[in-house]
Chain A
Amino acid sequence: MHIVYPAVVSALLFSIGVYGVLARRNTILVLMSVELMLNAVNLNLVAFDVWLADRLHSGQVLTLFVIVIAAAEVGLGLAIVLALYRNRRTVDVDHLRDLAEPADDPPAAVLAASTGADHRASSAPARPAAEDRAEAADGRGEEQTVERGGGRL
């Protein structure tokens, strides 16, 4: 077996995962893309373990460890996503901008469009006020926004 084959396949899988992480909007799809990247790494580890004929089997053992860590990561990530959904009624990464830079206009436009178009009930009307506050006083506004988010949790 030429080692180039698994290496190229894993490189392609990794870049597909990069595309998914960057281009997808739903948080669960982002998690799926992260899984793709982890699998690319696993394929590399197995291929190079076979190539080096390691007597300690470090590549395959590390693959098992990566699989376990990926499972833990997905569990925690989904718990975070569910907590997010309970508090915000959305899992779109484009709409979760409380920790973003506050002074831009396009995010505010996106926010306004989303609050107008969608049907989220509780958290949406309070959000533009937070943006205004953050724009008015940079540091204090950001702090208050973060505090408010923590309080709602």
Chain B
Amino acid sequence: MTEAVPSYLSPTGQEIVFLLLGAVAVGSALLVVTTRQLVHAALWLVVSFGALAGCYLVLTAEFVAWVQVLIYVGAVVVLLLFGIMLTRAPIGRSADLDSGNRLVAALVALATAAILVTVVIDGFHRAYAPLDPGAGAAGELGASIFATWVLPFEALSVLLLAALIGAIVLSRTDIPGGSPPGPPADPQTGGTSAPDHPGGH
């Protein structure tokens, strides 16, 4: 695992591709946190997540890469765009996207980056993993999930259900806040109007 480390000066093609994708991911992430337009931040997030999916592909984690594309690029970013739309955010450039503690934040982030990069390089500069394809295919991963990780998987499904119910309850406006004046009338009207409430208003 750690013996016979190849030189850093002669990178393989996989490493070059990975570094390019990583540069794209880091650069677009920087644009996400520095851009002045809210919608552009969401679109740069798509670029960053796509480059990360490419990184997973290079690291032979194919199934994770496609799940990343499906869930992050397909669902999470669309959800964030919906949030931007529903809060009536300014579409063009807006000057007040950054708060007053920008300098402190940059300082903290630089310190975090310095510490993490130093520790990681110091700790893992001799670690080398040959990449052989097939270890992260859907078949192997599915067998692993449903053989060893069944219990967390089921717990996760319950968590997703709880999150779904919580999001519906939070975004419905026809639920009375304190005392329930009319519980019998509520499911009747709520059942038909609940699905279009998060998107409708």
Q: Tell me the residues in window 90-109 of chain B with beta carbons closer than 8 Å to chain A beta carbons.
A: 96-102, 104-106, 108-109
Do A153 and B177 touch across chains, with their CB atoms under 8 A apart?
yes
Q: Tell me the residues in window 74-126 of chain B with beta carbons closer than 8 Å to chain A beta carbons.
A: 75-76, 79-80, 82-84, 86-89, 96-102, 104-106, 108-110, 112-113, 116-117, 120-121, 124-125
How does the 8 Å CB contact mask read for A40-61 relative to B, with 1 for contact and 0 for none?
A: 0011001101111100111011
Do A35 and B108 touch across chains, with their CB atoms under 8 A apart?
no
Cα–Cα, bound, A43→B113 (Å): 16
Do B170 and A24 touch across chains, with their CB atoms under 8 A apart?
no
Q: Tell me the residues in window 99-143 of chain A with beta carbons closer than 8 Å to chain B beta carbons.
A: none
B195 to chain A, nearest CB (A): 14
Cα–Cα, bound, A7→B14 (Å): 15
Given contacts A75-B167, A82-B83, contact A49 B61 (CB under 8 A): yes
> A146 at the A/B interface (Cβ < 8 Å)?
no
How does the 8 Å CB contact mask read for B141-162 relative to A, with 1 for contact and 0 for none?
A: 1001100110011001001100
Cα–Cα, bound, A22→B56 (Å): 28
Cα–Cα, bound, A15→B89 (Å): 26
Given contacts A11-B120, A50-B135, contact A36 B29 (CB under 8 A): yes
Among B64, B72, B75, B112, the residue within 8 A (CB) of A46 is: B64
Do B127 and A3 touch across chains, with their CB atoms under 8 A apart?
yes
What chain A residues lie within 8 Å of B182 (beta carbons)?
A: none
Cα–Cα, bound, A4→B127 (Å): 7
Q: How many A-B residue pairs have CB under 8 A?
A: 261
Do A4 and B112 touch across chains, with their CB atoms under 8 A apart?
no
Do B33 and A16 touch across chains, with their CB atoms under 8 A apart?
yes
Do B101 and A76 touch across chains, with their CB atoms under 8 A apart?
no
Given contacts A28-B87, A74-B80, contact A82 B120 (CB under 8 A): no
Do A1 and B59 touch across chains, with their CB atoms under 8 A apart?
yes
B147's nearest neighbour on chain A, judged by CB, is A56
Given contacts A7-B120, A13-B25, A28-B87, contact A67 B67 (CB under 8 A): yes
Q: Tell me the residues in window 1-45 of chain A with beta carbons closer than 8 Å to chain B beta carbons.
A: 1-9, 11-20, 22-26, 28-29, 31-33, 35-36, 39, 42-43
Do B76 and A15 touch across chains, with their CB atoms under 8 A apart?
no
Do A5 and B29 touch across chains, with their CB atoms under 8 A apart?
no
Given contacts A4-B127, A75-B167, contact A85 B87 (CB under 8 A): yes
Nearest 10 A-B pairs (CB), nearest first?
A22-B105, A19-B109, A20-B33, A72-B163, A23-B105, A15-B113, A11-B116, A9-B22, A79-B170, A3-B127
What is the interface of chain B, defined by CB distance below 8 A to chain A?
1, 5-6, 8, 12, 14-15, 18-19, 22, 25-26, 29-30, 32-33, 38, 41-42, 45, 48-49, 52, 55-56, 58-61, 63-64, 67-68, 71-72, 75-76, 79-80, 82-84, 86-89, 96-102, 104-106, 108-110, 112-113, 116-117, 120-121, 124-125, 127-131, 135-136, 140-141, 144-145, 148-149, 152-153, 156, 159-160, 163-164, 166-168, 170-171, 173, 177-178, 198
A-B pairs with beta carbons under 8 Å apart, 29 shown = A4-B121, A4-B125, A8-B120, A19-B105, A22-B104, A22-B108, A23-B99, A23-B106, A24-B97, A25-B97, A26-B89, A31-B83, A35-B72, A36-B45, A42-B64, A42-B68, A51-B129, A53-B135, A57-B136, A63-B61, A64-B63, A69-B159, A70-B72, A71-B160, A74-B79, A75-B79, A75-B163, A81-B83, A81-B87
